[in-house]
Amino acid sequence: MRRFLTAVETIAAFFLLAIALLTFANVAVRDFFSVQIPDWFDFSKLMQVVAVFWGIALTTFAGRHICVDIVWEHVGPKGKRIIDLFATCVTAAFLVPMSWMVCTKIMGLGTQATSDLRIPIIYFYWVAATGVVAACVLAVWRIVRVWQGVPDEESPLG
C-alpha cells in the first residue's frame, strides 16, 4: 500500500509542477516573443482539477486537512478516535457521491476538446476521476484504520 500512496502523492505533485512550468513558460514566451502557448489556459485548468482531486485523496487518508482542532485537542485518546472516525465517515459520505457524479460526467462528455489544439479533454477528466475514486478508497481505508485504533504515526506516509 505504501507504493500506492507514493503514486498518489507523485501524481498530485507532478500535476502541480506541470501547472507551474506551463504558467512560467507561457509568461516567458509571451513577454519575450509576444506569443502565447496554445491552450495553456485550458491545460492549466484541467491539470489543476487533476492535482486537486489527487491531493484530496492523499489528505483524506493522511487525516491532515486544514482544520481547527479546538475540541479534538482537549479530549482523550478515545474521544480523538471517535472524532476522527466521524470526520472520516462524513468525508467518505461526500466523496462517494462526488466520484459517482464525476464518472457520470465523463460518460456524457462526448467530443469536447481544447480551444486551440482541439485535444480531447476526456483524458484529463479520466485522470481526475481516478483521483476521486482513489480518495474514496483511501477514505474507506482510513475508516478501517481508525476503527482498528491504528495511530497516525504508523501511517505508510510517515
Answer whether residue 110 shows pLDDT above 70: yes
Predicted model pTM? 0.78
CA–CA gap between residue 149 and residue 42 (Å, rounded): 44
Answer whether residue 140 shows pLDDT above 90: yes
Answer whether residue 51 shows pLDDT above 70: yes
CA angle 57, 128, 101 (to 5 degrees): 90
CA angle 86, 130, 139 (to 5 degrees): 15
Q: How large is the average pLDDT for residues 33-52?
A: 93
Domains of the chain, residue spans? 2-154
> Looking at residue 131, what is its pLDDT?
94
Answer whether residue 154 shows pLDDT above 70: no
Q: How large is the average pLDDT for residues 7-26?
A: 93
Answer whether residue 17 shows pLDDT above 70: yes
Q: How large is the average pLDDT for residues 101-125?
A: 88
Average pLDDT, the chain: 87
> Looking at residue 72, what is its pLDDT?
78
Residues 55-106 have pLDDT tens digits of: 888 888 887 665 657 787 888 889 888 988 998 999 999 999 999 999 898 8
